[in-house]
Amino acid sequence: MSQALSASDIRKVSGSVVKEASAETISELLKREQEQLEELERSLSRSKEITANMFSLLDNFQERITGLEKDILPIYASTTKTRGLFQSKKFAFSLVFFVVLSLLTKDHTRHRRSDKRS
């Protein structure tokens, strides 16, 4: 990586003092600036490559999620239907149990009353 400019270099290049700076100093400063520019261009290139890879990964992930959704939705619908049927059967069995229990209780109560009368 290139070195930062020193305060004396900046003074030499700034304002009207540029005229007094030697050709070597200006050449050296130009070389440093070119190195920094090249480093920035390399960083920009790496950044673009990373960004492209990220978009590729995200697109791939989106495709997989879409495929999974297509596979899962029929299963979800079937499960929902099965759950509804189970709840209906559970309700029906509960109702039958209640009716049978009511009949048994009434029958048991009727037998107890007939036993008391005897």
How many Å is the maximal CA-CA distance in the chain? 136
What dihedral angle (degrees, nearest 10) is formed by the CA atoms of 32, 36, 37, 39? 140
Q: What is the pLDDT of residue 27?
A: 86
Q: What is the pTM of this model?
A: 0.46
Q: What six digits make up the tokens of 76? A: 């979800």
Phi-psi region of 22 (alpha: psi -120 to 50; beta: other; left: phi over 0): beta
Residue 32 class from Cβ within 10 Å (0-12 exposed, 13-18 middle, 19+ buried)? middle
Each domain of the chain, given as residue ranges in start order, spans: 7-117
Query: Could you give the 3-state DSSP secondary structure of residue 4?
Result: coil
- With a cut of 90, say whether residue 105 has pLDDT above it: no
**Cβ-contact 108, 115 below 8 angstroms:** no
Q: What is the pLDDT of residue 16?
A: 45
pLDDT digits (tens, 9 = 90+) for 7-66: 565 555 555 445 555 777 888 889 999 999 999 999 999 999 999 999 999 999 999 999
- Binned at pLDDT 50, 70 and 90, residue 1 comes out as very low
**What sign results for the dihedral spanned by CA atoms 65, 70, 75, 78?**
positive
Summarize the confidence of residues 88-116 as an average pLDDT. Answer: 79
